[in-house]
């Protein structure tokens, strides 16, 4: 674990803080690719680092793991992110960019070989940032979250997106659910994928490939350079599935690295 970035001591930037774990490497290695992983509602950057299966899986593949801290909802509530119907009081995209820049300066991480991933509320944030600024990261990998309704009518593209979701998720069901006495509605994952196919100018709604392997059900749309979408469903609930790190790394490394 590196310097200020460990679970106990966060690295500070102007708009917030983050934690970082680096892989083993030689001093003269090229910049380290990055997975920035956003925690869920009520979580924290330090709690992300406690997912050893995920963190060690990523660092073992040569990735740095960056775990930013969300802001307290309404100034005093649980930590989360500012997306869709919720505002967090800061420009999250600008914050993530400042974290990438700071980590590159301090730790020699890449500014271009980057994936924005996240779980639950973190996954919602991934979708909204990708929709607004697809070039901010080379790839996007949300787990158990999409848009809220009313979802964006269109998103900018192209985008590389890996959507992973539990078939039995009851917290963020695939079809979404209504919360807050009808004030808020989680969106439908399949409706979100339709927006992404349009953003990527995919020729068909039908996937280019559909298959099952290792208890996973998968669909993939290859819609041009830097414009691929993959949906992976696992037999589980609201969680980051075991083995997600290898799944994500295989997906990210299977295409040309950077736009």
Find out whether 140 and 166 touch, Cβ atoms under 8 Å: no
Across 180-194, average pLDDT:
93
pTM for the model stands at 0.94
**How does DSSP classify residue 127?**
H
Best-predicted range by mean pLDDT (8-12, 33-37, 104-108) = 33-37
- Helices 121-132 + 189-199 axis angle, to 10: 20
CA nearest neighbour of 52 among 62, 33, 65, 69: 65
Asked whether residue 244 carries a pLDDT value surpassing 60, the answer given is yes
Find out whether 91 and 8 touch, Cβ atoms under 8 Å: no
Dist CA 93 CA 86 (whole Å): 15
Dist CA 93 CA 106 (whole Å): 20
Give the pLDDT band of residue 28 (cuts 50, 70, 90): low
Over its C-alpha atoms, the chain yields an Rg (Å, rounded) of 17
Hunting for tokens 């994928």 — which residue is that? 193
Give the pLDDT band of residue 168 (cuts 50, 70, 90): very high
pLDDT of residue 257: 39
Asked whether residue 223 carries a pLDDT value surpassing 90, the answer given is yes
Across 9-33, average pLDDT:
88
CA nearest neighbour of 118 among 79, 62, 175: 79
Across 207-236, average pLDDT:
96
Helix (H) or strand (E) holding 222: strand 216-222
pLDDT of residue 125: 97
Hunting for tokens 């801290």 — which residue is that? 69
- Strand 178-179's sheet: what is its strand order? 148-149, 184-186, 178-179
Q: Around 249, how many Cα atoms within 13 Å sit in the side-chain half-sphere?
A: 18
Residue 46 CA to its chain's centroid (Å): 16
Q: Which domains, and CATH codes, for the chain?
A: 3-253 (3.40.50.1820)
Contacts of 48 (CB under 8 A, 6+ apart): 19, 37, 39, 54, 55, 65, 67
What 3-state class would DSSP assign to 139?
strand
């Amino acid at each position: 674990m590196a310097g200020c970035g460990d679970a106990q001591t966060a690295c500070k930037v102007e708009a917030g803080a983050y934690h970082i774990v680096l892989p083993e490497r030689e001093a003269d290695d090229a910049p380290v690719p990055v997975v920035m992983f956003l925690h869920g509602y009520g979580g924290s950057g330090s709690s992300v680092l406690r997912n050893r299966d995920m963190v060690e899986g990523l660092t073992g593949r040569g990735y740095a793991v960056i775990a930013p801290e969300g802001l307290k909802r309404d100034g005093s509530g649980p930590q989360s992110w500012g997306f869709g119907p919720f505002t967090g009081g800061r420009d999250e995209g600008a914050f993530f960019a400042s974290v990438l820049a700071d980590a590159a300066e301090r730790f020699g991480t890449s500014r271009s070989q980057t994936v924005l991933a996240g779980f639950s509320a973190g996954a919602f944030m991934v979708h909204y940032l990708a929709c607004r600024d697809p070039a901010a990261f080379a790839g996007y990998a949300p787990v158990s979250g999409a848009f809220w309704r009313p979802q964006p009518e269109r998103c900018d593209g192209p985008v590389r997106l890996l959507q992973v979701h539990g078939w039995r998720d009851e917290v963020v069901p695939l079809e979404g659910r209504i919360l807050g006495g009808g004030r808020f509605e989680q969106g439908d994952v399949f409706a979100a994928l339709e927006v992404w196919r349009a953003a990527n100018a995919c020729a068909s709604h039908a996937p280019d490939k559909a298959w099952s392997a290792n208890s996973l059900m998968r669909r993939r749309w290859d819609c041009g350079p830097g414009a691929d979408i993959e949906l992976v469903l696992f037999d589980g609930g609201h969680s980051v599935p075991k083995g997600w790190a290898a799944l994500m790394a295989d997906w990210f490394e299977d295409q040309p690295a950077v736009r």
